Amino acid sequence: MLNGVQDPSGDPPPLVWPSFLRPTPPFQLVYLDLNHWISLAQAATGHSDGARFVQVLAACREARRAGVAIFPLSNSHYVEISKIKDPRQRQDLAHVIEELSDFITLLSPAALKKIELDAVLQEPLGSLPSRWNNYPLVGYGVGFSLGRPMRPQLVGRDGEDVTEQWRQLPGGDELLRDAAVGLERAVLAGPTDAEVPQLRADGWDPEAAWGVAESRAQEEREQALRIDGATGKNWRKGRLRDMMCARETLIELREAFEATFKERGNTSLDLWFSDRDKMRRLVRSMPSSEVAIELKTAMHRNAQRARVWEPNDVVDMDALSLAVPYCDIVVTEQHAHHVLRAARLHERMDTVLLRDLTELPANLSA
């Protein structure tokens, strides 16, 4: 029993939504995969490949100007953009992203896991005051998307923090706002080729986040080999989704579970993990986990594809697990679009799923 609903058949249980993350805002949240942002940047710069998206860009600009749509970023965008080698391409991207997003970002996946866990555990364990209560779905800047909101800091000659002193001066708040915008522009656009050597000497490591994604992709490649070598059961034709649910619980959610149970002074976590049906219903009640499980199940269902997981697959799944449940419109690539629509997740989550950027203007609010 979860939130009063029995699930004896194995069908997905009802989704449990953190109420404060599902308001009815006066605007649409429109999430674009990076390849669609690139298409808009090409349209903005007159690139021949962007010609078919000029009208789309105009519609997005009008929707943003009228306040009927916001085009938020996720931390996955920052990871992917950091892999673009061409400084000019990053600059073009940064310009159109600033124009349409105003550096508005979605909350971090780690924060979302904690919030959703709090929601699904309220009935069996009781509600608990938490710093995650009323945590915003959207915030400002790369720091918010990483779960570490950053503020502009001004440092004096001897290294002391003089931010508050500057804030008290005439025009101080405006100066700090300009500093915040400059920081966001610099993070998106990245350094020029000439700046890279000194930045690396100072400890800059743009590959670090991609290394984490590579490690997670390697875990999935190893799991594909274990499925290949399994005897007695053909998991790819059987309960593969249950296997992915178990892996999501143990790999992606274990830390969040431990923190949540600790906050409640509950020491029976192992008892929960030993009840597979209870855990399956609980985890699949979390909207972001349901998206992740569906995408990973589809990937592992294809034996050949599962053996060549790439870091980009991990990054994309993180982004869609966040965007599909909580954005109004999601424009993604063809494979993910097919998987999510076949599972009817767009209906369960009341999300418009598109695979062609040219379909977007017709779906933006009038």
pLDDT in tens, 53-80: 999 999 999 999 999 999 999 999 999 9
Question: Where are any strands of DSSP class E within the chain?
Answer: 28-32, 69-70, 104-106, 138-140, 329-331, 352-354
Whole-number average pLDDT of the chain: 84
Question: pLDDT at position 55, please?
Answer: 96
Domain ranges (residues) in the chain: 19-149+207-363, 151-206
Query: Using CA atoms, how far apart are residues 269 and 261, in angstroms rounded to an integer?
Result: 7
Lowest-confidence pick of 27-41, 158-172, 197-211: 158-172
Amino acid, single-letter form, for residue 339: V
The pLDDT tens digits for 255-285 are 888 877 777 776 566 656 667 788 888 899 9
Confidence band of 129 (pLDDT split at 50, 70, 90): low
Retrieve residue 301's tokens: 């269902």
pLDDT at 352 over 80: yes
Confidence band of 85 (pLDDT split at 50, 70, 90): confident
Query: Using CA atoms, how far apart are residues 17 and 211, in angstroms rounded to an integer?
Result: 32
Query: Using CA atoms, how far apart are residues 328 and 319, in angstroms rounded to an integer?
Result: 14
Side-chain-facing half-sphere of 89: CA atoms under 13 Å? 12
The answer for residues whose C-beta is within 8 angstroms of residue 155's C-beta and 6 or more apart is 161, 162
Please state whether 114 falls in left (phi above 0), alpha (psi between -120 and 50) or beta.
alpha
Answer whether 282's CB lies under 8 Å from 312's CB: no
Query: Using CA atoms, how far apart are residues 327 and 106, in angstroms rounded to an integer?
Result: 9
pLDDT at 10 over 50: yes
pTM for this entry: 0.86
Question: pLDDT at position 172, please?
Answer: 66
Residue with tokens 């699904």: 120
Question: pLDDT at position 122, please?
Answer: 78
Q: Which helix (DSSP H) or strand (DSSP E) does residue 75 occupy?
A: helix 75-81
Query: Using CA atoms, how far apart are residues 87 and 25, in angstroms rounded to an integer?
Result: 36
Query: Using CA atoms, how far apart are residues 60 and 68, in angstroms rounded to an integer?
Result: 10
For CA atoms 138, 141, 147, 148, give the dihedral sign.
negative
Question: pLDDT at position 167, please?
Answer: 67
What secondary structure does DSSP assign to 188-256, as a single string? HH---TTTHHHHHHTT--TTHHHHHHHHHHHHHHHHHHHHHH--S--GGGSSHHHHHHHHIIIIISHHH
Question: pLDDT at position 125, please?
Answer: 65
Rg (alpha carbons) of the chain, rounded to whole number = 22
The answer for residues whose C-beta is within 8 angstroms of residue 46's C-beta and 6 or more apart is none
The pLDDT tens digits for 192-230 are 777 777 767 766 667 777 888 899 999 999 998 888 876
Question: pLDDT at position 11, please?
Answer: 79
Length of the chain: 366
